[in-house]
Structures are given as structure tokens and as C-alpha cells.
Amino acid sequence: MRLFLSKKMILFIRGNKIPALIVVALLGLNTTAIAQKIDIARQFKYAQQQTTYMLEALKTADTSKGLVSPRTFEDGKLKLVNSKDWTSGFFPGILWYLYDYTKEKKWLTQAQAFTAKLTDEQYNKTTHDLGFIIYCSFGNGYRLTGNEAYKKVIIQAARSLSTRFNAKTGVIRSWDHNKDKWKYPVIIDNMMNLELLFNATKLTGDSSFYKIAVSHANHTILNHFRPNYSSYHVVDYDPETGKVIQKNTAQGYSDESAWARGQAWGLYGFTMCYRETGDKRYLAQAQNIAKFIFNNPNLPKDLIPYWDYDDPAIPNTPRDVSAAAIMASALYELATYSTNNNFKEKANIILANLSEHYKAPLNTNGDFILLHSTGHKPAKSEIDVPITYADYYYLEALLRSRKFVKN
């Protein structure tokens, strides 16, 4: 690990003959200083190389069952998903981010091709994940190209998502499965799909999308969070009365634990809601979630969290790099709305550590970018593997970091 010291600091150290070990101790392995030297160009060069290998692998992948996007590399196999899977939009989004950074036609062509495979999902009313599926793909495509066809898909997807809203509960239903367990389950992840609705109002002038998004965000603040600003994973509502029935988890350690990716979804979601509404309640919520995360005694020094902050097996339990990537991206945006430089510094540290210590060697790891994510530990699924959404938010964080990082 290299330390980046100012000339004044070097002269002071030499003049006072301070031993190197003491310098390191005094600096506390100043990862903030290291983070200021994140080489964004080098990281994107690597991402392009790794994604090029991925595209080659996809040429011979089995797509006979309608599989369209890579999701993970598990048990020595590259695993793809169909367009209905909640992760299907992330790989097209990665391609759009590579085009965003490079402006090279080859990435535009690939992004267009993989985005097109998701077109039918604009009519899918059976999932709350249309934000992930459509906005990460078509949303980025429209942002970068202005393609009117993409705009139409975004609007139709928002209409489909809106059908899952219940005025009694005030929130969008997340899952239709496990009806014996939940009546009207809403997960913290659902905050991420509100961006699709906010933008549909911008594109159409129809405020109904905006109102649904605001209602969902407000009810999530009211019902999903504990006094310490940690979040439950699942809140179950009575669709007839709107009352909360139960609060529990599906992917966390326990009902009362703080599932790491869930905390990251909340941080990102409320930061985005503040951007779209200017409502300071959302800014305060995001800031308080960040405080919970960074004051947590179980957060490792490198700020890459364990999969659940309350797993009693810590430190002998998996990390979740995907949570870290989401956090970094959210924090860079949050830093633009706050005078608290701590958010920027934490984002820099996370991004630097992801870049230096959690990247796979080239042409390994199923050609995904980052190592050590955890998908669904209680189900013994996707534990300590690469996951496409970790790569997506990592690249987004790199793009956002350009406002703060000196190369």
C-alpha cells in the first residue's frame, strides 16, 4: 500500500527523523489520501478489457431458454438470466457506462443490442423491479442518445409499475410470491425503482407517477426504519386497511438485523429522492442512514461491509462488495448535496479499496469486474461470488467520482 504525502509532510518527517512505522501509525494508513489518487482511466481500461472477454464468452453461452444477460459466476459456471429477472438490466447498463466514459461506437453498439433484448419487459406488471430492468438499460440509453424509442419504453414501464401501487397501503407491492407468508410485502430494495417513476413524470408531465413515488418513499420512512435508522428488509401490509402486519427479513441474518445491501439500497434511494423532489426529509434520511452505516462497530476498516452488520459470525462471514459499490455511488451523489466532506471521503475510500483489493485478475472470475459479493446467504445462493449489479454500481461510482477525484 502506497501512501501519498505532501512535500511539507515529507520534509517534516525527514527533518525530525520520524521512523517509518511511526509515520504509518500516525497516518492510520491514510486511505483517504490514497483514494484521492484513484486512477479512473486505469479502472475503466480494465473494465473494458474484462467486459470484452465477457462479450466473447457470451457468444458461445447457452441462450436456448431465452437467457439474455450475465448475472454471476458460480460453481465454475457463467450464469445468465432471462429478461424477466430483476438483474437483467445491469449488463446493458454496464455497456452504457462504458460508452458514457469512452464515447466509443463499439460500446454503443453492444449497449443497444443488449438493451433491445429487454424491450418486452416494459409491459411486465408482475414485478416491482422494472426500475432495475428498464431504467438501468433504457434509462441510460435515453440519457446518452435521446432515442425516442427508449423514451416510449421508459414511459410504458412506469405505467406498468404503477399498477402495483395500492392507495390503501400507499406503497408499491414488491413480491407476488409466498402468499402464505405475506399479504402485501414491500422490500427496502423497492426504493431503487422510484427513479423510473420520477423520470416518467419529467418525460410526460403526468404527475401521477411522481405522486406514487413520493407516497412510497414517505411510507418507507414511516414503516421500514428503526430509531437508529437501520432498515427492515420486508414490511408486510394489509392491502385492505393499509396497516402494517409484520416486519421481517428474507435475505438478512434475522428479522431485527441490518442486512448490508438493504442499508445501501436505502442510502441510495433516499439520496435519489432528494435529487428528484428537493424534500429535505429525504436528505436527512439519507444522511442518517449513512451515519448508521459508518458508526456501526462491525463495519470493517476498509469500509467493505460484511453481508449483514449483525451476523454473530463476524469477522468469519462473507463480505458483500455489491453493498459497498452501491454505497460508494450513493455517497458521491450525497456529497453534492451536503457540506459534510465525510461523505466524499468515505466514498473515495470505498472506491479505492474496491479498485485495489476487490478486483479480479484479468480474464478470470467469469470476466466480471469485482470479487466477493453475497446475493442471498440464507438461501445459500450466490455467496462470495461476482454479481453483475456490483459491477454496475462500481462503474457508476467511478463516473460520479470524477467530480471529486484528482487523476
Is there a domain that residue 5 lies in?
A: yes
Domain membership of residue 7 (yes or no) is: yes
* pLDDT one-digit tens code per residue, 148-190: 999 999 999 999 999 999 999 999 999 999 999 999 999 999 9
Per-residue pLDDT tens for 357-366?
Answer: 999 999 999 9
**Is 129 in the active site?**
yes
- Alpha-carbon span 76 to 42, nearest angstrom: 28
Q: How many domains does the chain have?
A: 1
Please tell me which residue in 129, 236, 308, 367 is annotated as part of the active site: 129
Q: How much is the pLDDT for 36? A: 52
Q: Is residue 16 part of a domain?
A: yes
Cis peptide preceding 361, ω within 30 of 0: no
Active-site choice (85, 100, 189, 391): 189
- Residue 18 in any domain: the answer is yes
Burial class (CB in 10 A: 0-12, 13-18, 19+), 36: middle
395 belongs to a structural domain: no
Predicted local confidence at residue 32, as pLDDT: 46
- List the chain residues with pLDDT less than 50: 1-35
pLDDT of residue 340: 80
pLDDT at 406: 61
**CB-CB contact of 133 with 193 (8 Å):** no
- Count the neighbouring beta carbons within 10 Å of the beta carbon of residue 3: 14
Is residue 303 included in any domain, yes or no? no
H or E segment to which residue 224 belongs = helix 207-224
Q: Is residue 10 part of a domain?
A: yes
Q: Could you tell me if 35 and 348 are in contact, meaning their C-beta atoms sit under 8 angstroms apart?
A: yes
- Whether 2 is covered by a domain: the verdict is yes
Helix (H, G, I), strand (E, B) or coil at 340: coil
Domain ranges, residue 9: 1-28
